[in-house]
């Protein structure tokens, strides 16, 4: 079947659809990226203090338990519960995605902080580091690999879950997928789905690159925590 009438034939792969609906695809992609970025950034801002709270043994159970319970709520039910508060808006989708991301982010940040070698902390305290400087100057940089791993998982998951936002009209590429499935518009469903997968892969690759830039001591041969701390201290002094 020629590309000129692939729309009439309702083919799965149709170049004519991509050319004639390019602006619609672009708008949906921009909305998808915007919702994903907002959700992950807000999720990180909330997850970090929660992870610090969970470091205290008496708060670990409640914090981890709450985030786990939130993750078990079905997405449709989550959005339905949020609609009385936010109405039919993008805030419903972003808030739901933030709540879902907390399980992965809190656990990974906490795991990264707990994995910081005690000798690195002792060396920092011996150099006069206070609690705040110890956290942001030593512990957080050494916990970055675990933190970034959590951010990658949360981002890929969010790209996928954003499509469910189509039920309130804010699903990015999910809007096209759901509309296409309703009318059995094959080219629209396949194109939007492929773009969604491409976004997830691209986001993961970009975050992996950021992780390698921020944690150069994890590349090449294995280094001791003392050398990693020395690199962080040198960078901070610069």
Tell me the pLDDT tens digit for each residue of 19-35: 888 899 999 999 999 99
pLDDT score, position 42: 96
Other CB atoms within 10 Å distance of the CB of residue 9:
11
Mean pLDDT confidence for 174-189: 90
pLDDT over 70 percentage in the chain: 89
107 pLDDT higher than 80? yes
Which of these CATH numbers, 2.40.420.20, 1.10.3720.10, 3.40.50.300, 2.160.20.10, describes 22-237? 1.10.3720.10
238 pLDDT higher than 50? no
Tell me the pLDDT tens digit for each residue of 52-62: 999 888 888 89
More confident residue, 134 or 155: 155
**Residue 221 pLDDT grade (very low, low, confident, very high; cuts 50, 70, 90):** very low
Mean pLDDT confidence for 5-10: 82
Tell me the pLDDT tens digit for each residue of 183-193: 888 889 999 99
pLDDT score, position 124: 83
Contacts of 188 (CB under 8 A, 6+ apart): 17, 21, 176, 177, 179, 180
How far CA 194 is from CA of 3, 29, 100, in Å, comes to 19, 11, 23
pLDDT score, position 38: 95
pLDDT score, position 219: 64
pLDDT score, position 3: 46
Model pTM?
0.82
Backbone torsions φ then ψ of 81, nearest 5 degrees: -70, -30
98, two tokens:
């933030």
Mean pLDDT confidence for 58-80: 89
Structural contact between residues 215 and 231, judged by C-beta atoms closer than 8 angstroms: no
Mean pLDDT confidence for 151-171: 91
95 pLDDT higher than 70? yes
How far CA 226 is from CA of 57, 60, 122, 198, in Å, comes to 27, 29, 11, 39
Domain ranges of the chain: 22-237
pLDDT over 90 percentage in the chain: 42
225 pLDDT higher than 60? no
């Amino acid at each position: 079947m020629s590309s000129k009438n692939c729309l009439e034939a309702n083919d799965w792969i149709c170049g004519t659809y991509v050319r004639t609906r390019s602006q619609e695809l672009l708008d949906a992609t921009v909305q998808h990226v915007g919702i994903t970025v907002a959700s992950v950034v807000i999720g990180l801002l909330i997850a970090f203090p929660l992870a610090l709270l969970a470091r205290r043994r008496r708060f670990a159970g409640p914090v981890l338990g709450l985030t786990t319970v939130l993750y078990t709520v079905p997405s449709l039910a989550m959005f339905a519960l949020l609609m009385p508060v936010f109405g039919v808006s993008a805030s419903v989708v972003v808030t739901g995605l933030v709540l879902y991301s907390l399980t992965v982010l809190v656990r990974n940040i906490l795991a990264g902080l707990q994995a910081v070698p005690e000798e690195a902390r002792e060396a920092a305290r011996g150099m006069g580091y206070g609690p705040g400087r110890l956290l942001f100057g030593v512990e957080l940089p050494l916990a970055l690999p675990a933190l970034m791993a959590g951010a990658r998982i949360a981002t890929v998951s969010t790209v996928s879950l954003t499509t469910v936002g189509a039920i309130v009209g804010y699903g990015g590429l999910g809007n096209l997928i759901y509309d296409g499935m309703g009318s059995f518009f094959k080219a629209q469903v396949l194109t939007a789905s492929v773009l969604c997968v491409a976004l997830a892969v691209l986001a993961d690759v970009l975050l992996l690159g950021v992780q390698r830039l921020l944690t150069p001591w994890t590349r090449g041969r294995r280094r001791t925590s003392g050398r990693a701390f020395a690199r962080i201290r040198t960078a901070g002094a610069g």
